[in-house]
């Protein structure tokens, strides 16, 4: 349930004050720890001779005692860090200030590298909220581009085809029909969609001053070293799904990440197959996949090249599709067309800072 901006400001102000207090407390803890280390070192025994040998056991006991004390301090700090992170996330999730915080994340020179590195890291490690990635791609109309980019990767072609067979009924025959008809082009969309327009941070938008309390909160968050933890929780905890989706879309809109970087990171984590399977549950995207499989069947079939008068599609490229020859230029009206599998895609790429 959303609450008023004024109440939200009060919540964030409290979180900011708590964060500053925690920073002071942490500094005190560091001083106390240093003093504790000095005290323990001062009490460590000298290398007392016992039958001509140093008393190493006493040294081991004191070291273990110091470690126990240090671990207790570390656990307390971790506990307090977690409480602060939770307070900040609650403030973001339950107030109407989330859009301003989102703008700050993708425009601040200090926060931009943090959100980029954290997003890549959680995708590579496989702990990303896959639903957030799925929702961001579908709602921004970039899922089509991702599917086409995936299927055009010949190292993944056969694996993806086998996954698609489990989701799309009669896939092999559908692909064969598309090949017989002649694939004149891939179903693609511009990699920059109007649905992302509202997420672009421009000079006019930056002229809008952030609330002082928001500035203070995020500045304190950065200086405390807890910013990474907050962004990580946003991207991995389903409780913050809506903000995570908006964050990914804002990063795409402002060129902080691109489709290829997402594919690479999710492939490294092993999640790309799961994401592809989820995308195929959308009827429109299933049609896109069928068209893409047909268009790249010959190109992603172990290096098969067009033969005179047609293109050979081997069994390994398309599951149960038997080897066949597709008339060159079928459906295109051009005898000089090298075949549907060699069509070059027209996809406009955006530069990425990553």
Task: Quote the pLDDT of residue 12.
Answer: 57
Task: Quote the pLDDT of residue 118.
Answer: 97
Task: Quote the pLDDT of residue 186.
Answer: 67
d(CA 189, CA 198): 18
Task: Quote the pLDDT of residue 38.
Answer: 55
Distance of CA 185 to the CA centre of its chain: 30
Task: Quote the pLDDT of residue 303.
Answer: 39
Task: Quote the pLDDT of residue 226.
Answer: 85
Task: Say if strands 324-327 and 310-313 run parallel, antiparallel, or are unpaired.
Answer: antiparallel
Task: Quote the pLDDT of residue 82.
Answer: 78
- The mean pLDDT values, 10 residues at a time, for the chain of 354 residues are 54 58 58 55 50 62 75 80 81 76 90 96 96 96 93 92 93 91 69 77 69 76 86 93 95 95 96 96 93 89 38 38 33 32 41 43
pTM score of the predicted model = 0.69
Which residues are within 8 A (CB) of 66 and not within 5 positions of it... i.e. 6 or more apart? 36, 37, 40
Q: At what angle do helices 259-269 and 272-279 cross, to 10 degrees?
A: 120
């Amino acid at each position: 349930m959303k609450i008023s901006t004024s109440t939200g400001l009060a919540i964030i102000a409290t979180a900011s004050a708590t964060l500053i207090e925690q920073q002071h407390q942490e500094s005190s803890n560091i001083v106390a720890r240093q003093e504790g280390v000095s005290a323990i070192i001062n009490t460590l025994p000298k290398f007392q001779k016992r039958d001509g040998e140093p008393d190493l056991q006493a040294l081991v006991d004191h070291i273990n005692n110091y470690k126990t004390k240090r671990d207790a301090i570390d656990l307390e700090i971790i506990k307090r860090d977690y409480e602060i992170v939770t307070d900040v996330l609650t403030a973001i999730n339950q107030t109407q200030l989330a859009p301003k915080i989102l703008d700050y994340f993708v425009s601040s020179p200090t926060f931009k590298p943090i959100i980029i590195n954290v997003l890549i890291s959680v995708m590579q490690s496989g702990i990303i909220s896959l639903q957030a990635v799925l929702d961001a791609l579908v709602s921004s109309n970039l899922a089509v581009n991702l599917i086409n980019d995936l299927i055009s990767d010949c190292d993944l072609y056969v694996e993806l085809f086998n996954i698609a067979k489990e989701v799309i009924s009669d896939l092999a025959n559908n692909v064969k029909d598309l090949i017989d008809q002649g694939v004149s082009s891939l179903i693609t969309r511009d990699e920059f969609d109007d649905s992302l327009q509202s997420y672009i941070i421009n000079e006019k938008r930056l002229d809008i001053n952030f609330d002082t309390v928001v500035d203070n909160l995020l500045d304190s968050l950065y200086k405390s070293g807890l910013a990474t933890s907050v962004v990580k929780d946003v991207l991995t905890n389903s409780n913050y799904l809506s903000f995570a989706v908006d964050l990914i879309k804002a990063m795409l809109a402002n060129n902080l990440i691109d489709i290829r970087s997402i594919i690479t990171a999710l492939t490294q984590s092993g999640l790309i197959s799961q994401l592809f399977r989820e995308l195929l549950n959308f009827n429109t995207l299933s049609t896109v996949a069928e068209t893409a499989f047909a268009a790249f069947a010959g190109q992603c079939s172990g290096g098969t090249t067009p033969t005179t008068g047609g293109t050979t599609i081997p069994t390994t490229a398309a599951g149960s599709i038997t080897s066949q020859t597709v008339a060159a230029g079928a459906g295109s009206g051009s005898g000089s067309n090298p075949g549907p599998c060699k069509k070059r895609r027209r996809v406009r790429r955006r530069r990425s800072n990553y």
